[in-house]
């Protein structure tokens, strides 16, 4: 059976030891985010996830959502779990106290989100979309819209949804056809159809606030003519109470490979009343505020699934008896040794562990940068944090979800044939993980964003936010005999990344296909180097703490770092070779021959 125990010790390691998260309490607005409060929130969140959300994960997958007479019903137990979630204030963690939020750091929220995604990814999509919509409205909505809608969204009474995709356009939103016609009272009438809308309709909240991309009558062609509108399921009266049903309805729900307890809807807008969010024809800027928040959270979905898959695989590997160890019997009192004695099983488990703990550390860097970006008193520090987040967002989204899918597959492989059987729970993680590589912009699109936008931005300024600290770390540590086994492999891989960056920059200017052809490998290379940097830093901490009550924890951290440096990071060489091969290997192939 699947198992989950929140990895609180490792979360505390990342928050307290790797980044000294206590410094967040020194920032304006975060004064209450003391280590004691952070620890209490993590403890309570772990109880919620282990005892409320995890027990309905498999049953929710098997039952799925159902669509009857225009109404979407979530699986048994989801409404009760959501009510418990709301009562605990979990919808308000990182929201502004002005609207009823708790104003806690995004770093803390990211760790809570990981636990939610591990325990029940489908459930997590509902509050997750609401949080994304909240951030978009907070950043670009008028004071009137914010005062009218945000308090109930923060409280969890109302939820949010993001309505972008149409049947004929996904990534290329410049093709969208949904129309917005201005009205005399300042509102707009929205007409069109959206598909693949997560949490577009459900029975968890009394109202759903849709953020909808549409075109005004005078809109320019392409993405420069897209505006963003707030369209509630039920209109809201001046006193805040719910009025009549708006002209928005669910036409169907999708029958999917995974996240079956998350409603994925076809939404029809028929002269629905909506209000402009932000400026006319500037909707993509506002929507990207929501999408970038969601992309980081989707990355953490991959991390969460990798963690729960790892835990299940370890538990099974300890119990499953098959064969004897190659070096001789390890458990003579048993008819066979547990499979954890076999090198290939350990290879899979350590790969999962190295990915998971490395991604958790990198998520900490990004989420702490989000906090600095919004709260640091120094404008320069805020800009530097903003730059780092912009650079690493596509990497977190794509790398974490790629590795999450790999980890869930490895977890299923550890189980062998039993992993393919539903009752063990592992195959669900594989199916759930697969969508994370697709939604909020496919991972190929993330790679194009990295090489096409982020890499050249501001004459390489974003890159410097990563390259400079890594280079400084290597320069300082590679002369240290104790740190050489970590610093030298990192230096070699970092050199490959620098060479690949130069190659793509030069070749891409002459032929854009050159950048496109190497984009996915470049993102993977960048991500593996970033994880290598994380592991080297964690190893340095672990080396200094090999004695004491927690020696076993730090020894495991150090051994995992060694595994990563020697068994995973060397992939950088192959990735660099693939990038250097250029675009001809694929673009010269005759289209008719496919």
Tens digits of per-residue pLDDT, 491-509? 999 999 999 999 999 998 8
Q: How many other CB atoms are there within 10 angstroms of residue 166's CB atom?
A: 18
**55 φ/ψ sector (left φ>0, alpha ψ -120 to 50, else beta):** alpha
- Provide the strand spans (E) within 207-360: 207-214, 227-232, 234-236, 242-245, 248-253, 264-277
Token pair in block for residue 43: 């403890």
Report the relative pairing of strands 227-232 and 207-214 from DSSP bridges.
antiparallel
3-state secondary structure of 456: coil
d(CA 559, CA 148): 53
Residues of the chain above pLDDT 70, percent: 99
Segment 213-235, tens digit of pLDDT = 999 999 999 888 999 999 999 99
pLDDT at residue 2 tops 90: no
pLDDT at residue 512 tops 90: yes
- Write down the pLDDT at residue 509: 87
Residues 496/539, Cβ–Cβ less than 8 Å: no
3-state secondary structure of 263: coil
Segment 92-130, tens digit of pLDDT = 999 999 999 999 999 999 999 999 999 999 999 999 999
- pTM for this structure? 0.96
Residues 298/241, Cβ–Cβ less than 8 Å: no
pLDDT at residue 292 tops 70: yes
Residues with Cβ < 8 Å from 76, sequence gap 6 or more? 56, 59, 60, 63
DSSP string, 90-117: GGGTTS-GGGT-----HHHHHHHHHHHH
Token pair in block for residue 203: 């029975």
- Write down the pLDDT at residue 291: 74
d(CA 539, CA 546): 11
- Write down the pLDDT at residue 285: 82
Residues 391/347, Cβ–Cβ less than 8 Å: no
Segment 124-134, tens digit of pLDDT = 999 999 999 99
pLDDT at residue 52 tops 80: yes
As a three-state string, the secondary structure of 337-391 is CEHHHCHHHHHHHHHHHHHHHHHHHHHHHHHHHHHHHHHCCCHHHHHHHHHHHHH
Residue scoring higher pLDDT (222 or 398): 398
- Write down the pLDDT at residue 168: 81
Residues 122/58, Cβ–Cβ less than 8 Å: no
- Write down the pLDDT at residue 320: 95
**Over residues 447-459, mean pLDDT:** 95
Residues 274/192, Cβ–Cβ less than 8 Å: no
Residues 360/299, Cβ–Cβ less than 8 Å: no
Residues 104/94, Cβ–Cβ less than 8 Å: yes
What is the maximum alpha-carbon separation in the chain? Answer: 84
3-state secondary structure of 51: helix
Catalytic residue among 114, 357, 440, 514: 440
pLDDT at residue 375 tops 90: yes
Report the relative pairing of strands 158-163 and 207-214 from DSSP bridges.
parallel
Tally of CA atoms within 13 A in the half-sphere of 430 that contains its CB: 17
The closest alpha carbon to 362, from 412, 302, 421, 424, belongs to 302
Instruction: Please report, to the nearest 10 degrees, the dihedral formed by the alpha carbons of residues 553, 556, 562, 567 taken in order.
Output: -140
pLDDT at residue 443 tops 90: yes
**Bridge partners of 248?**
269
- Write down the pLDDT at residue 170: 67
237 — pLDDT class (breaks 50, 70, 90): very high
d(CA 301, CA 113): 8
**Over residues 519-538, mean pLDDT:** 98
d(CA 252, CA 337): 51
DSSP string, 535-555: HHHHHHHHHTT-SSTTHHHHH
* Centroid of chain to Cα 306: 12
- Is 440 in the active site? yes
The closest alpha carbon to 269, from 180, 344, 162, belongs to 180
* Centroid of chain to Cα 475: 32
Residues with Cβ < 8 Å from 26, sequence gap 6 or more? none
3-state secondary structure of 589: coil
- Write down the pLDDT at residue 314: 98
Segment 184-211, tens digit of pLDDT = 999 999 999 999 999 999 999 999 999 9
Residues with Cβ < 8 Å from 266, sequence gap 6 or more? 193, 194, 195, 197, 200, 250, 251, 252, 253, 254
Token pair in block for residue 527: 């991500």
- Write down the pLDDT at residue 294: 83
Q: To 10 degrees, what angle do helices 106-140 and 35-48 make?
A: 90
d(CA 7, CA 26): 26
Token pair in block for residue 232: 């509630």
Buried b (16+ CB within 10 A) or exposed e, 504-517: bbebbeeeeebbbb
Tell me the pLDDT of the chain averaged across its residues. 96
CA distances from 3 to 97, 312, 322, 352, 367 (A): 36, 5, 21, 16, 27
pLDDT at residue 173 tops 90: no
d(CA 507, CA 515): 7
Token pair in block for residue 471: 């280079």
């Amino acid at each position: 059976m699947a198992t989950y125990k929140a990895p609180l010790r490792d979360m505390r390691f990342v928050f307290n030891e790797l980044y000294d998260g206590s410094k967040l309490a020194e920032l304006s607005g975060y004064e209450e985010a003391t280590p004691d409060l952070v620890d209490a929130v993590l403890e309570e969140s772990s109880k919620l996830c282990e005892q409320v959300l995890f027990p309905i994960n498999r049953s929710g997958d098997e039952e799925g959502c159902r669509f009857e007479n225009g109404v979407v019903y979530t699986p048994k137990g989801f409404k009760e779990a959501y009510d418990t979630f709301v009562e605990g204030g979990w919808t308000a963690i990182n929201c502004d106290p002005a609207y009823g939020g708790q104003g806690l750091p995004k770093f803390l929220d990211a760790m809570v989100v990981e636990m939610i995604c591990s325990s029940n990814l489908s459930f997590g999509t509902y509050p997750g979309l609401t949080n994304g919509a909240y951030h978009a409205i907070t950043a670009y909505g008028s004071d009137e819209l914010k005062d009218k809608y945000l308090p109930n969204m923060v409280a969890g009474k109302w939820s949010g949804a993001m309505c972008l995709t149409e049947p004929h356009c996904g990534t290329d939103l410049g093709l969208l056809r949904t129309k917005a016609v201005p009205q005399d009272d300042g509102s707009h009438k929205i007409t069109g159809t959206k598909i693949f809308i997560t949490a577009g309709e459900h029975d968890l909240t009394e109202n759903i606030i849709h953020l909808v991309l549409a075109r005004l009558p005078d809109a320019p062609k392409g993405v420069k003519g897209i505006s963003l509108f707030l369209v509630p399921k039920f209109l809201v009266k001046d006193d805040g109470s719910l009025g009549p049903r708006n002209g928005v309805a669910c036409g169907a729900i999708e029958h999917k490979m995974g996240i079956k307890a998350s409603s994925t809807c076809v939404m029809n807008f028929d002269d629905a009343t909506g209000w402009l969010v932000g400026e006319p024809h500037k909707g993509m800027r506002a929507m990207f505020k929501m999408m970038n928040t969601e992309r980081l959270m989707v990355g953490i979905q991959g991390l969460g699934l990798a963690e729960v898959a790892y835990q299940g695989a370890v538990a099974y590997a300890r119990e499953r008896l098959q064969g004897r160890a190659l070096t001789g019997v390890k458990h003579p009192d048993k008819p066979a040794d547990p499979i954890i004695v076999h090198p290939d099983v350990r290879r899979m488990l350590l790969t999962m562990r190295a990915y998971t703990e490395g991604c958790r550390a990198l998520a900490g860097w990004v989420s702490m940068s989000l906090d600095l970006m919004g709260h640091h008193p120094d404008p320069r520090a805020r800009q530097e944090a903003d730059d780092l987040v912009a650079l690493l967002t596509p990497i977190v989204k794509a790398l974490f979800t790629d590795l999450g899918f790999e980890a869930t597959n490895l977890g299923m492989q550890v189980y062998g044939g039993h992993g393919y059987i539903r009752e063990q729970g592992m195959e669900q993680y594989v199916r759930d993980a697969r969508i994370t590589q697709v939604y909020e912009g496919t991972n190929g699109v993330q790679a194009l964003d990295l090489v096409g936008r982020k890499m050249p931005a501001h004459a390489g300024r974003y890159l410097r936010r990563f390259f400079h600290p890594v280079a400084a770390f290597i320069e300082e540590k590679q002369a240290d005999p104790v740190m050489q086994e970590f610093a030298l492999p990192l230096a070699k891989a970092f050199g490959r990344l620098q060479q690949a960056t130069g190659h793509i920059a030069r070749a891409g200017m002459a032929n854009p296909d050159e950048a496109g052809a190497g984009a996915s490998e470049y993102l993977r290379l960048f991500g593996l180097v970033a994880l290598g940097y994380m592991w080297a830093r964690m190893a340095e901490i672990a080396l200094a703490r090999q004695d004491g009550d927690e020696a076993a924890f730090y020894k495991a951290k150090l051994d995992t770092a060694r595994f990563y440096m020697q068994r995973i990071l060397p992939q950088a060489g192959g990735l660099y070779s693939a990038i250097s091969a250029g675009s001809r290997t694929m673009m010269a192939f005759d289209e008719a021959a496919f």
